[in-house]
Amino acid sequence: MRLAGTYRDVLLASVVASAVALAGVSHVSAAGTGALPPRSTCRGQSNLAAPVAVQLRATRCLINWTRRHAGLAPVARNDELDRSAAMRARDIKRCRDFSHTPCGQPFITVFTAVHYFTGTAAVGENLAWGQGRLGTPRAAMANWLASPPHREILFTAKWRDLGVGRVRGTLFGRPNVTVWVAQFGRRSLP
């Protein structure tokens, strides 16, 4: 999902959501997804037992490796987007609603809560969920790369900021599910 403009423009924008569910996807080859980095590149990318901080760092690494190999600038970690991504992930789990608008909240709720919208801003968001080994950062990235709407968000050249969030638990009636949220942004401060 992507929105751009001033805060007022964002409130008036119509929203089209795209999300990918990883459950049931057993394997996505590198040839089908584009450029996935070698498994040794981003520590923790395939390890569900790694600490949360390591998995979040691996996700940022995967995103930036993929962007660099597509000829795009990397995106910088942004504390506000990290907080809003974590909020979105928690809302998805709390409401058991895998969407960009969980609990019926407007898309921009998490961005305004962390004060990302100051001046002119644009944001985009990719969601993924996977059960068991399909919940790794690498699995989420492989599936984003296999999905044209998610690739479009991932490879938007104007992004400068990145926030990543995740939750794990029993979701959608399934145990050991991981939800990933990657939020991208660019803003011009007043």
pLDDT, tens digit, 9 for 90 and up, residues 130-188: 999 999 999 999 999 999 999 999 999 999 999 999 999 999 899 999 999 999 999 98
pTM for this model (two decimals): 0.82
Residue 72 has pLDDT above 80, yes or no: yes
pLDDT value for 177: 96
Asked if 158 and 72 touch (Cβ cutoff 8 Å), the reply is no
CA distance 112 to 145: 28
pLDDT in tens, 177-189: 999 999 999 998 7
* pLDDT value at 33 more than 50: no
Residue 1: the pLDDT is 53
CB within 8 Å of 147: residues ≥ 6 apart: 18, 20
